Amino acid sequence: MTEKKEQPVMPVHRSLFDALFYRAQEAMLVLDRGLNVLLVNNAALKLLGWTEQDITGKPASALVLEKDLKEFFEMAELTAKNGVMRNCRFYLLTPAKSIVRLFLTAQALKDPSGAVNGFCLSLSPVSPDEWSALKDPHVFRAAARKLNRLTSVGQLTSMFAHDIKNPLHVILSTSELLRAQEDQPEQVRSGAELIERNARRASKIVKTLLDFSRSGMCRLEPHPVESAAEYAIELMDSSLKAGKVKVSKEFGKAPKVFLDPNYMHSVIYNLLNNAAQALDGAPSGEIKVSSGWLEAEREVFLTISDNGPGMESAMLENLFQPFFTTKENGTGLGLYLARQIMDEHGGRIVVGQSPEGGASVSLRFRKTV
Ligand code: ADP
């Protein structure tokens, strides 16, 4: 029997880690379970202005504004529960106590038994202009509308998504092939797996954008909301059955509204999908789809509610943020695009708690027939 050659695993791992973490362009911090800073990379030091000695071993809360501490702890717990929380708007502090505005993504780190033993935070800075546009929904909406008129975002998105679909497909299939080759070193296979996972997520984003941009601008026509709901429920039917989710319908009397069926099917389908994912195959999982007329508001409503875990307060401010997600494979585009589309319909979305304690998302239409 030939003896196995000793592999210089550690130095290779070390230099790979240095390349991926310390010299990465993305600013990153690693925290332990108690939220103390274990590691910080060069990009994060540059972004926040601290030195490595300043923050290593210190509580990460030292980087957080007093008023945001509660939200920070809630975000950490949410990340521990879901595994990931992507693209939350957040502020961090510099040594001079000035504020850096950024999008924060937190990934839970787990030990071999699956217990969360830390977090990896990645930070991407946002310019003050982008920030105020994101903070003020009116500025953002006005800008989006202007862009829509000028370039027809739908068409642009769809062109972009088509163009990017093919190269992504090549990346995905090549990484799949590489991972499947048994004779590849573990390091190559795990690298291929990482590429594959990320390419899959990018593909999903592209698919969502394509689904939503199918018909370019919204073309509104008189339509009953309940038939749009029925159509989307039918599309979901097989996956709802597979997940053993019960769907109940309660359609009240309401006038027809002006809607674009193509877009609205995508919106409702996404909301149903979110509710089904929140229920995660729970045996008593139930989705309620209801519609009707609200006399006081003079609006037609279509509400999708579930008896899942509901939405935690740390999430509410970020829900309509593009790319915000707490799912490993989420795109974070569902609610963002839903709001854009409801805007185009002259309507709105109201998010709340269902009577059963889960989430309730209500589409409200003002333009009735
Ligand atoms: P995605 O589903 O790709 O994550 P969305 O924009 O549709 O993107 O949703 C953003 C986030 O809102 C989800 O990641 C999830 O945390 C939360 N969410 C949406 N719907 C529900 C729901 N019905 N129950 C609980 N959380 C929800």
pLDDT digits (tens, 9 = 90+) for 118-134: 999 999 888 776 666 66
Which pLDDT value is given to residue 323?
84
pTM over 0.85: no
368 secondary structure, DSSP code: B
Distance 330 CA to ligand 1 centre (A): 8
Pairing mode, strands 246-251 and 286-294? parallel
Query: Average model confidence (pLDDT) for the chain?
Result: 86
Task: Please give the average per-residue pLDDT across 236-264, as a whole number.
Answer: 88
Of all protein residues, whose CA lies closest to atom 19 belonging to ligand 1?
Answer: 274
User: For residues 216 and 63, which has the higher predicted lDDT (pLDDT)?
Assistant: 63
Which pLDDT value is given to residue 151?
43
330 lines ligand 1 (CB under 6 A): yes
Window from 203-217, 265-279, 324-338 with minimum mean pLDDT:
203-217
Neighbour-count burial of 291, counting CB atoms closer than 10 A to its CB (0-12 exposed, 13-18 middle, 19+ buried):
buried
Distance 326 CA to ligand 1 centre (A): 7
Please list the residues that pair with 278 across neighbouring strands: none
Backbone φ and ψ for 34, nearest 5 degrees, come out as: -90, 10
Distance 294 CA to ligand 1 centre (A): 26
Which pLDDT value is given to residue 367?
78
Cβ–Cβ < 8 Å for 277, 242: no
- Distance CA(202)–CA(106), nearest Å, equals 18
Q: pLDDT over 70 for what percent of the chain? A: 87
The length of the chain in residues reads 369
Closest residue by Cα to residue 97 from 127, 121, 125, 65: 65
Neighbour-count burial of 238, counting CB atoms closer than 10 A to its CB (0-12 exposed, 13-18 middle, 19+ buried):
exposed
Closest residue by Cα to residue 243 from 210, 272, 204: 272
Distance 75 CA to ligand 1 centre (A): 15
Closest residue by Cα to residue 275 from 233, 315, 313: 233
For the ranges 9-18, 153-162, 343-352, the one whose mean pLDDT is highest:
343-352
Q: Over 50: is that where the pLDDT of 4 sits?
A: no
Cβ–Cβ < 8 Å for 310, 357: yes
285 lines ligand 1 (CB under 6 A): no
Q: Which atom of ligand 1 is nearest to the CA of 304?
A: 23
Task: Please give the average per-residue pLDDT across 256-261, as a whole number.
Answer: 92
- Distance CA(107)–CA(82), nearest Å, equals 9
280 confidence band (pLDDT: 50, 70, 90): confident
Please list the residues that pair with 31 across neighbouring strands: 37, 119
326 lines ligand 1 (CB under 6 A): yes
55 confidence band (pLDDT: 50, 70, 90): very high
9 confidence band (pLDDT: 50, 70, 90): low
Cβ–Cβ < 8 Å for 49, 95: yes
Q: Candidates 77, 78, 323, 325: which one to mutate for ligand 1, based on the most atoms within 8 Å of Cβ?
A: 325
Q: Candidates 274, 289, 325: which one to mutate for ligand 1, based on the most atoms within 8 Å of Cβ?
A: 274
Q: Over 80: is that where the pLDDT of 341 sits?
A: yes
Which pLDDT value is given to residue 333?
86
Distance 352 CA to ligand 1 centre (A): 13
Closest residue by Cα to residue 106 from 91, 89, 85: 85
270 lines ligand 1 (CB under 6 A): yes
- Distance CA(47)–CA(93), nearest Å, equals 10
Distance 315 CA to ligand 1 centre (A): 9
- Distance CA(275)–CA(305), nearest Å, equals 7
pLDDT digits (tens, 9 = 90+) for 143-186: 555 445 434 455 566 667 777 888 888 898 899 988 888 888 88
324 lines ligand 1 (CB under 6 A): yes
Q: Which atom of ligand 1 is nearest to the CA of 275?
A: 23
Which of helix, strand or coil describes residue 109? strand
Conformation bin of residue 140: beta by default, left when phi > 0, alpha when psi is -120 to 50: alpha
Cβ–Cβ < 8 Å for 33, 74: no
327 lines ligand 1 (CB under 6 A): yes
Which pLDDT value is given to residue 134?
61
84 lines ligand 1 (CB under 6 A): no
The dihedral formed by the CA atoms of 48, 50, 51 and 54, expressed in degrees to the nearest 10: -140
Of all protein residues, whose CA lies closest to atom 13 belonging to ligand 1?
Answer: 325
- Distance CA(331)–CA(20), nearest Å, equals 24
Q: Over 90: is that where the pLDDT of 200 sits?
A: no
Pairing mode, strands 27-32 and 37-40? antiparallel
